[in-house]
Amino acid sequence: MATTRERAGYHHGDLANALVDAAVELAKTGGPSAVVLREAARRVGVSATSAYRHFANHQDLLAAVKARAQVDLADAMRAEQAAGDDALSRLHGLGRGYLRFALTQPGWFRAAFNTEVPTDKTSEPFQLLCAALDELVAAGMMSADRRHGAETPLWATVHGLANLITDGPLASLPEAERKRVIDETQSFLTRALT
């Protein structure tokens, strides 16, 4: 028989999503290491046993959190991309959105690339990047022979910069200096691509 606490926390009827919502909040404040199935269950107001009916283990919950983080990352990238008036500025917008997401939501960014759960090349952020590079070729701003495989070094550069700024030696840069580093990186990538 369910306890009063379990009944009160389970009123929504969608425990799986409620657990993911709670785990998302844990990830946003503490990164993927803060995602604990028992803690998510406690926050929702159900027993750990109830939580395990929806997620076989910790990794299953992390995968759901990571999927949500990837969607939010793609949304942040798309928001910046929309401000671009040509293929190159839209591509740079994707990078700015990626970096803005990492800077404003570092725990959530870490969850989006949690290494305990593999990141699939079919992820929405990766697909946005590929489409933007294809648009660059279609617009005549990048030669077709330079397009093959360009997404990998481009992503590696932007992701590496995001890590350097959030968790690395560039974390203490003043905002103006950080902006300069981002602008220089984008200029470098423009020269490499075009």
Which phi-psi region, left, alpha or beta, contains residue 35 (left: φ > 0; alpha: ψ -120 to 50)?
beta
For range 68-92, the mean pLDDT: 95
> Which pLDDT belongs to residue 119?
72
> CB under 8 Å, gap of 24 or more: what pairs does 132-135 form?
132/81, 132/87, 132/90, 132/91, 132/94, 133/91, 133/193, 135/87, 135/90, 135/91
**Choice between 75 and 4, residue whose per-residue pLDDT is larger:** 75
pTM of the model: 0.86
For range 32-58, the mean pLDDT: 90
Pick the CATH number of 67-193 from 2.60.40.10, 3.40.50.300, 3.40.50.12500, 1.10.357.10: 1.10.357.10
pLDDT at 116 over 90: no
Q: How confident is the model at residue 122 (pLDDT cuts 50, 70, 90)?
A: confident
Percentage of the chain beyond pLDDT 70 is 93
Domain boundaries, the chain: 4-56, 67-193
4-56, CATH topology level:
Arc Repressor Mutant, subunit A (1.10.10)
> Which pLDDT belongs to residue 3?
46
